[in-house]
Chains A and B, each alone.
Chain A
Amino acid sequence: MRYLRSRVVTFCISYALWLTLSFSVDWQHLLIGLLVSLFAAFLMGDMFAEQAHKWFSPRRYLWFMIYVFVFTWECFKANLDVARRVLNPHLPINPGIVKVKTILKTESGLTFLANFITLTPGTLSVDVNREEGVLYIHWIDVKTQDVEEASRIIVSKFERILKEVLE
């Protein structure tokens, strides 16, 4: 069968998700979860987990841990930043949509980068142009309109981690 490895990965993920959600070892639950996961893996195998070999390299998981820590910290900073802005009577914002370049190419890489950007201080991804590797980002406090400079400030620190995890 084609995409066998992708299907196996999809099956494992969906079955694990089912087990945590149902959270019982009753045979009926296990059987239904098994059937539904197999069906999902059969349908989605070639869409989800495109490059299955990436799931088997431990180095990526190590970088993923780093990613989680950086992400949590940035997310927390983002919240303090928003709180500071909305509670200030003068509403100190200087919004605008800027353009940044990224070196990430894969779909999953761009997805995670866009998600990351949305949850980090002051930025919200509006659109992604995959062919040119360009992201349009709404920035609540525009510091520069220059593409290179904005890329350095917004994306460069996460790009490296995501490149190690996903590409």
Chain B
Amino acid sequence: MTDLLSLIFIVVGITFDLFGSIGLIRMPDIYNRLQASTKCVTLGTCGILFGVFLKFGFTAAGVKALVCIIFLLLTAPVAAHALARGAHRSGVRPCKGSACDKYAEDDTSAATKPLKG
């Protein structure tokens, strides 16, 4: 029973990872790509790790998988935030057809001016 459950978690995780990768290809600009990849890859990978935990239970491998889930949940959004902020500050604008860009409007300080473009 737990074997079946762990397999289900792993399969669902891999499916979400796949959706995230498709999003990475299909989305028009870096911000939308980050949206797709961060969300799907985080939950997808957490699903796989949780499946591993169910498979191995409270052994060295299983507990490490649990710790990895916490680590991933804390670090993935921070990495996405750093990438998005870095991209914006180095002059990458949202794609054509974006509704608004309040960040560019508010950024008047010299330090945050785009380097080029």
Asked if B35 contacts A97 (CB within 8 A), the reply is no
**B72-108 Cβ-contact flags toward A at 8 Å (1 or 0):** 0110111011001100100000110111111110100
Asked if B94 contacts A118 (CB within 8 A), the reply is no
Asked if B67 contacts A86 (CB within 8 A), the reply is no
Asked if B103 contacts A115 (CB within 8 A), the reply is no
Interface centre among A115, A138, A145 (most CB of B within 10 A): A138
Which positions 32-82 of chain B face chain A at CB distance < 8 Å?
32, 34-36, 38-40, 42-44, 59-60, 63-64, 66-67, 73-74, 76-78, 80-81
Q: Beyond A23-B63, A75-B43, is A119–B77 a contact (Cβ under 8 Å)?
A: yes
Asked if B103 contacts A99 (CB within 8 A), the reply is yes
Q: Which of B44, B59, B67, B94 contacts A96 (CB 8 A)?
A: B94
* B16 on the A face (CB < 8 A): yes
Asked if A118 contacts B31 (CB within 8 A), the reply is no
Q: In the complex, A115 Cα to B42 Cα: how many Å?
A: 12
Asked if A138 contacts B74 (CB within 8 A), the reply is no
Interface size class of B (residues with CB under 8 A): 35 or more
Asked if A83 contacts B106 (CB within 8 A), the reply is no
Q: In the complex, A95 Cα to B20 Cα: how many Å?
A: 17
Tell me the nearest residue of chain A to B78, going by C-beta.
A115
Q: Is the interface of A mostly helix, strand, loop or mixed?
A: mixed
Q: Which of B20, B35, B40, B73 contacts A122 (CB 8 A)?
A: B35
* B4 on the A face (CB < 8 A): no
Q: In the complex, A76 Cα to B40 Cα: how many Å?
A: 9
Asked if A138 contacts B31 (CB within 8 A), the reply is yes
Q: In the complex, A124 Cα to B31 Cα: how many Å?
A: 8
* Chain A proximity of B88: nearest CB distance (Å): 6
Query: Which residues of B sit under 8 angstroms from A31, Cβ to Cβ?
Result: none
* B5 on the A face (CB < 8 A): no
Asked if A86 contacts B36 (CB within 8 A), the reply is yes
Query: Which residues of A sit under 8 angstroms from B16, Cβ to Cβ?
Result: 79, 83
Interface centre among A96, A116, A126, A136 (most CB of B within 10 A): A126
Query: Which residues of A sit under 8 angstroms from B59, Cβ to Cβ?
Result: 23
Asked if A126 contacts B43 (CB within 8 A), the reply is no
* Chain B residues packing against A (C-beta within 8 Å): 16, 19-20, 22-23, 26-29, 31-32, 34-36, 38-40, 42-44, 59-60, 63-64, 66-67, 73-74, 76-78, 80-81, 84-85, 88, 94-95, 97-104, 106
* Chain A residues packing against B (C-beta within 8 Å): 17, 20-21, 23-24, 75-76, 78-79, 82-83, 85-87, 91, 93-99, 111, 114-116, 118-119, 122-127, 136, 138, 140, 142, 145
